[in-house]
A and B are shown apart, each in its own frame.
Chain A
């Protein structure tokens, strides 16, 4: 618990979360405005459109994977990993604390993203004179956003431990999201097992899958598998290597 408390304290004593939070909020305002503004009133009134609108909170998963990786790589970038290992010399324990802290932090961010999504959507819908129906069907993506973000944080921690270089990890994640996921779409139906697609399916929270998208529980299983693989590989690398003599 001490190691977890320390990791949470690390996360809140820099401005990392503030900037990511503000950036996510600005992005949500932008994409929700474009999305709601581009639909006609009849379409906006449909439950499926409202569900899709409320799924935008799932953008928190992108922030989650970056935060997860930065909670590890920032320590290497600034050389603070040395002090962290002096206080918590069992590396497995330190990494487990980072993983738990990333999941908790991202849980909070995803809940705030859902709240922001609801607020922005409600304001737009009212402005256009359409009632936003809140029920189990339309709100399901809120749970998906939280779950998907937590899985993304786990994958991010694993990638951070695997690469340990801050810039390298962020660039690798962004390249995968912007290019890799697009390229893998060429694989046909198998592309639904790609990390981004699987997390997208968690966010969408459809109980039953389709040819190109997994059902929510299958997607959760695939997401857990990715998180386990990245964390397992990353933890093995950290356990078997020397801490850096200075920042990268």
Chain B
């Protein structure tokens, strides 16, 4: 559905996106992750024709955005919540977009109802809360009944209720066969929502895997509890295993539970608990993107 091929974008001397290639399959929710300044927004803006690539290309269904015959019927995009004329009503904002795309004016009221904004439709956007603006952005994205949604940090500034609404909405959209490509900083939310993730760092691709694969690979710690925790800690460290005390009698050990159990048995140290803690998307993300300390 989305193809990014050897995309590079430079701003004067700074390289925001560096020879980036990946693809987003149809009918799935793909998360787009990376630290601040990794190049996520720039990539999305090139994909949507808002920024011009230095080299390479980003396409939707094989075409650049500006080559799409009916862009709003193909792609719905949610960019920044602040991109509204404050004196224009939410309904008029959508009427303008519908007119520009040659869509039926009737769609405006339909999408307003879909995002539960009908009651505020005639109010000026300047008086909307951040959550309402995000819903209006989603309504704008849905105007053309697109098969692909591209969202840039849609959860930014949303309260827990708003985040839940967005999660349910995106799941429902994907459940109807739609494709979602969403960038986010909220890793916990993304691990619940996305089927797979594209992770970039300094403009380069560092991972493109399913969430399940990625969290399996993440180094989860082994939690171990013993009445002789201090002695076990010393034995582990002597064996070259990284470990640290977490609470009274408990250790977090960066090694598989089998190795910890074997070592404790050899030393005759009793264990009261030995648990393999599953890696999280956050851990995988940090492992892939954390800079080594100098």
Q: Which of B65, B88, B102 has a CB less than 8 Å from the CB of A2?
A: B102
**What band does the interface of chain B fall in when counting residues whose beta carbon is under 8 Å from A?**
20 to 34
- Tell me the B225-244 residues at the A interface (CB within 8 Å): none
**Pairwise interchain contact A13-B89, C-beta atoms closer than 8 A:** yes
**Pairwise interchain contact A243-B83, C-beta atoms closer than 8 A:** no
- Cβ–Cβ < 8 Å partners of B77 in chain A: 86
- Distance (Å) between the CB of A224 and the closest chain B CB? 28
**Pairwise interchain contact B52-A6, C-beta atoms closer than 8 A:** no
Q: Which of A74, A80, A89, A247 has a CB less than 8 Å from the CB of B65?
A: A89
**Pairwise interchain contact A13-B45, C-beta atoms closer than 8 A:** no
Does B84 belong to the interface (CB within 8 Å)?
Answer: yes
* A245-B100 in contact given A9-B95, A13-B89, A78-B83 (Cβ < 8 Å): no
**Pairwise interchain contact B83-A246, C-beta atoms closer than 8 A:** yes
- Cβ–Cβ < 8 Å partners of B80 in chain A: 79, 82, 245-246
- Cβ–Cβ < 8 Å partners of B95 in chain A: 9, 13
- Interface flags for B69-80 (1: CB within 8 Å of A; 0: not) read 001100101011
**Pairwise interchain contact B87-A15, C-beta atoms closer than 8 A:** yes
Does A42 belong to the interface (CB within 8 Å)?
Answer: no
**Pairwise interchain contact A90-B45, C-beta atoms closer than 8 A:** no
Does A88 belong to the interface (CB within 8 Å)?
Answer: yes
Does B212 belong to the interface (CB within 8 Å)?
Answer: no
* A86-B71 in contact given A2-B102, A243-B51 (Cβ < 8 Å): yes
**Pairwise interchain contact B89-A6, C-beta atoms closer than 8 A:** no
A240 to B49, CA, bound (A): 12
A90 to B41, CA, bound (A): 21
- Distance (Å) between the CB of B157 and the closest chain A CB? 14
Q: How many A residues touch B, CB cutoff 8 Å?
A: 29
A84 to B41, CA, bound (A): 18
Does B97 belong to the interface (CB within 8 Å)?
Answer: yes
- Cβ–Cβ < 8 Å partners of A13 in chain B: 88-89, 92, 95-96
**Pairwise interchain contact A2-B68, C-beta atoms closer than 8 A:** no
A230 to B181, CA, bound (A): 40
**Pairwise interchain contact A80-B51, C-beta atoms closer than 8 A:** no
**Pairwise interchain contact B140-A83, C-beta atoms closer than 8 A:** yes
- Cβ–Cβ < 8 Å partners of B83 in chain A: 78-80, 82-83, 246-247
- Tell me the A196-248 residues at the B interface (CB within 8 Å): 240-243, 245-247
- Distance (Å) between the CB of B104 and the closest chain A CB? 12
Given contacts A82-B83, A87-B97, A245-B45, 12 further A-B contacts (CB under 8 A): A2-B101, A5-B99, A6-B96, A6-B97, A78-B84, A78-B86, A79-B82, A83-B140, A88-B101, A240-B52, A242-B52, A245-B41
Which 5 pairs of residues, A with B, have the shortest CB-CB distance?
A6-B100, A87-B100, A89-B66, A79-B83, A242-B51
Q: Which residues of chain A have a CB within 8 Å of any CB of chain B?
A: 2-3, 5-6, 9-10, 13-15, 74, 78-80, 82-90, 240-243, 245-247
